[in-house]
A and B are shown apart, each in its own frame.
Chain A
Amino acid sequence: MNLFKKLAVGAVTSMSLMASAAYAQVEIQWWHAMGGRLGEVVEEIAAKYNASQSEYVVVPTYKGGYEDTMTAGIAAFRAKQQPNIIQIFDAGAATIIYSKGAVVPVADLLEKYAGGFDSTDYIEGVRYFYADNEGKMIGMPFNSSTPLLYYNKDIFAKVGLDGPPATWEELEAMAPKLKEAGYQALAQSHSPWIWAENFMSRHNLPLATANNGYDSTDVKILYNTPELRMHWTKVKEWLDKGWYGYYGRGWGDNQDAFVQQKVAMWLGSSGSFGGLTKSAEFKFGAAYLPYWKSVVDEPTSTFIGGAALFAMAGKSEEENKGVADFLKFLTNPEMQYFWHRETGYVPITNAAYEMAKADGYYDTTPDAEIGILQLTQKSGEWTKGYRLGFYVQIREVMYKNFEDILSGKASVEDAFAAIEKDGNALLARFHDTYK
């Protein structure tokens, strides 16, 4: 037999094997945006699920970043080739939820096929973000993180600072000392997320009309407020004084500045914890996101960031059953604890959190608990989340104008007026498209 024939025979045999395997088990396609180490953990989760039962096979596929994954899902849906499960990030939630008929609410799926659903099983901070205005979960929070402050303990000890700042006022008091020792005090990744959205949540301020956008698409943003303008006036001052280092929009570029000990503190995500333990060659700690004492006496909890899993519509009942079964598996305490430990993302159920506590995980790594503690801090009227359309573009508008503030091209007043104007124009456009 020559080589070609051998190959052909091999291909036919393996194809028929695959076909028979697929015939026996229902395949569940899962498109996700988790690269690198996170992607490996996703593969492990799928492998664990597939080994745990024989009815369904979950096939995870990495589709690039959050936006790429959403675009791939949109294109596939339009071609009627959509996956069963797709991971959609916070800023894309409105797009998929308001496209009527694109997804099946996960609460309905679990109710119908997995023996019930109770939203109070989930920790308070994640319960509402991907839910509708009545609290029904549309997407299942998957990788949930929240902004935290990381600080370099070695630098703090060297400079003679006791602990991380709880408020921005305290940070301002620490910054001159750090500067004198040759360090920038602060860097920060993702300014719209941390210094606009979560700023509002931390100080219990509304960020949009119509119940932060949950009640209607006819909505206007409320970012142009004295509190947020004050904050950005301060940020510009910090930059000019050399207290704050701006390393661009890239998440990693700002994190690198912290890892390379150019800056003493960095605002990142609770999900950054796992990566930092590997890359930082110094002792570091995690702390709550600071707040302005001048704005509130006691801060409220932050939003979750990250992404959720959505069950796409147009699938057979058998496959939807599999999706529900898998989501149930994914949210069981063992899997959530595994995900939490491996990645640093918060566990989304109370049971998983209790399990991590009982296991003594936080006794050995107390910093890993900071994110979930912050999410379970006192909640307020405006700490549930937000639902705003074309939010990717609105974040782009914010980035643009924040950069204009920092570079001195625009005054804080002008920049926020531009954010309000352009943001509201986008929201009006979204409303007309999705009404």
Chain B
Amino acid sequence: MKRVQFEHSPIPYLFVAPQLLIIAIFFLWPAGQAVYQSFLLEDAFGLSSQFVWFRNYSDTIFNESWLQSAWFTAIFSTLVTFLSLGLALLLAVKANEVIRGASTYKTLLMWAYAIAPPVAGLMGNLMFNPLIGDMYHFMNSFGYDFDHKLHETDAAFVVILISVWKQVSVNFIFFLSGLQGIPKSVTEAATMDCKSPTRRFWTITFPLLAPTTFFLMVTNITYAFFETFGIIDTTTQGAPGGATTTLVYKVFQDGFRGADIGGSSAQSVVLMLVVLVLTVIQFRFIERKVHY
């Protein structure tokens, strides 16, 4: 029997070439540079350097301030992801049920999507300003001594609040379109079978939203890891006492502020590995539970 063999055409390669080129230039090359730099002790201006194996890693990774920021990053990204997904889902479900003035609600909820993280951070910073901030005075009006300039949990509260606020609208848009993609016939059939709306939501709606939720979880974790940089830089700048320093912010502080290129490269290589592991976990273990 003759095997059917299609003639290979070079055209597919040409189609993917631009994308591969972009990956090579903007990811592989800088990532390779980071790995290379992480093994060097080099002066800031690149005039002399020595190869030091893992010195940069041992100097900058397993010390107190790095571990503190690793711990904060873990808590921070879990909370930001969980809260912004949860809130957005709640809002989307409710907005989906609204009949009168639905588009107004939706527009208002999507509005914050247009705001860049640093701008959200600047606004939050003004609202929490001890002298003129309404939020600051509001928080203090309960008799609790709220001071995000000195109290670690208060500072964490501020950055989490702003990060979640900024992300909710993005998630809302995806959840809403996901909800609208669920066929009417399915929900109507479910209504006939089951009276409880909560139960209907968890057994019918939520599983059907699983692909959207999974996608949003991946993007939200990335957001919490990397994009919240702008919010932290414009609000707490990692203070007080390093309590709101995420791993990315620490890379920035050491590399861009402090001109320690080897040390910050080592940190970014570790960060790259952490994100890699997280992504693998997400796709191997969580995606299996998702039905498309």
**CB-based contact A407/B151 at 8 Å:** yes
Chain A residues within 8 Å of B47, by CB? 99-102
Of all chain A residues, the one with the shortest Cβ separation from B130 is: A247
Instruction: Say whether A25 faces chain B, with CB atoms less than 8 Å apart.
Output: no
**Which of B45, B63, B241 touches A409 (beta carbons < 8 Å)?**
B241
**Which of A262, A400, A403 touches B65 (beta carbons < 8 Å)?**
A400
**Which of B45, B131, B242, B263 touches A429 (beta carbons < 8 Å)?**
B263
**CB-based contact A393/B258 at 8 Å:** yes
**CB-based contact B259/A407 at 8 Å:** no
Query: Residues 404-435 of chain A: 1 if any B CB is under 8 Å from the residue's CB, otherwise 0?
Result: 10110100000000000010010001001110
**Which of B150, B254, B263 touches A407 (beta carbons < 8 Å)?**
B150
Dominant SS at the A interface? helix
Known: A262-B131, A407-B151. A70 touches B259 (CB 8 A): yes
Chain B residues within 8 Å of A68, by CB? 256
Of all chain B residues, the one with the shortest Cβ separation from A432 is: B41
Q: Closest CB of chain A to B40's CB: distance in Å?
A: 9
**How far apart sit A398 and B42, CA to CA, in the bound complex (Å)?**
25
Instruction: Say whether B135 faces chain A, with CB atoms less than 8 Å apart.
Output: no
Instruction: Say whether B260 faces chain A, with CB atoms less than 8 Å apart.
Output: yes
**How far apart sit A279 and B152, CA to CA, in the bound complex (Å)?**
32
**How far apart sit A407 and B147, CA to CA, in the bound complex (Å)?**
10
Instruction: Say whether B43 faces chain A, with CB atoms less than 8 Å apart.
Output: yes
Chain B residues within 8 Å of A400, by CB? 65, 239-242
**How far apart sit A96 and B47, CA to CA, in the bound complex (Å)?**
11
Q: Closest CB of chain A to B285's CB: distance in Å?
A: 37
Q: Within A78-125, which residues are at the interface with B (CB < 8 Å)? A: 78, 92, 95-96, 98-102
Instruction: Say whether B237 faces chain A, with CB atoms less than 8 Å apart.
Output: yes
Of all chain A residues, the one with the shortest Cβ separation from B59 is: A429
Of all chain A residues, the one with the shortest Cβ separation from B259 is: A95
**Which of A67, A256, A403, A434 touches B257 (beta carbons < 8 Å)?**
A67
Instruction: Say whether A40 faces chain B, with CB atoms less than 8 Å apart.
Output: no
Q: Closest CB of chain B to A110's CB: distance in Å?
A: 23
Instruction: Say whether A253 faces chain B, with CB atoms less than 8 Å apart.
Output: yes
Known: A71-B256, A392-B257. A246 touches B239 (CB 8 A): no
Chain B residues within 8 Å of A401, by CB? 241
**CB-based contact B241/A404 at 8 Å:** yes
Of all chain B residues, the one with the shortest Cβ separation from A430 is: B260
**How far apart sit A42 and B130, CA to CA, in the bound complex (Å)?**
33
Q: Closest CB of chain A to B286's CB: distance in Å?
A: 36
Q: Closest CB of chain B to A331's CB: distance in Å?
A: 26
Chain B residues within 8 Å of A249, by CB? 149, 237, 239
Instruction: Say whether A142 faces chain B, with CB atoms less than 8 Å apart.
Output: no
Q: Closest CB of chain B to A118's CB: distance in Å?
A: 29
Most buried by B among A95, A100, A257, A407: A407
**CB-based contact A409/B152 at 8 Å:** yes
Instruction: Say whether A354 faces chain B, with CB atoms less than 8 Å apart.
Output: no
**CB-based contact A407/B240 at 8 Å:** yes
Instruction: Say whether A208 faces chain B, with CB atoms less than 8 Å apart.
Output: no
**How far apart sit A253 and B45, CA to CA, in the bound complex (Å)?**
34
Of all chain A residues, the one with the shortest Cβ separation from B41 is: A433
Instruction: Say whether A232 faces chain B, with CB atoms less than 8 Å apart.
Output: no
**CB-based contact B150/A403 at 8 Å:** yes
**Which of B46, B59, B240, B253 touches A396 (beta carbons < 8 Å)?**
B253
Chain A residues within 8 Å of B43, by CB? 95, 98-100, 433-434
Chain B residues within 8 Å of A393, by CB? 253-254, 257-258, 260
Q: Within A192-215, which residues are at the interface with B (CB < 8 Å)? A: none
Chain B residues within 8 Å of A403, by CB? 150, 239-241
Chain B residues within 8 Å of A99, by CB? 43-45, 47
Instruction: Say whether A163 faces chain B, with CB atoms less than 8 Å apart.
Output: no
Instruction: Say whether B121 faces chain A, with CB atoms less than 8 Å apart.
Output: no
Instruction: Say whether A49 faces chain B, with CB atoms less than 8 Å apart.
Output: no
Chain B residues within 8 Å of A92, by CB? 259
Q: Closest CB of chain B to A315's CB: distance in Å?
A: 14
Chain B residues within 8 Å of A67, by CB? 256-257
**CB-based contact B65/A422 at 8 Å:** yes
Give the interface of B toward A (CB within 8 A): 41-48, 59, 63-65, 129-131, 149-152, 237, 239-242, 253-254, 256-260, 262-263
A262-B131, A396-B258, A400-B241 known; 15 other A-B pairs, CB under 8 Å? A74-B44, A78-B45, A95-B43, A95-B259, A96-B44, A248-B149, A253-B130, A257-B131, A400-B240, A404-B241, A406-B150, A429-B260, A433-B42, A433-B262, A434-B43
Give the interface of A toward B (CB within 8 A): 67-68, 70-71, 74, 77-78, 92, 95-96, 98-102, 246-249, 253, 256-257, 260, 262, 390, 392-393, 396, 399-401, 403-404, 406-407, 409, 422, 425, 429, 432-434
What are 5 residue pairs bridging A and B, where the CB atoms are less than 8 Å apart in the complex? A78-B45, A95-B43, A98-B43, A100-B48, A393-B258
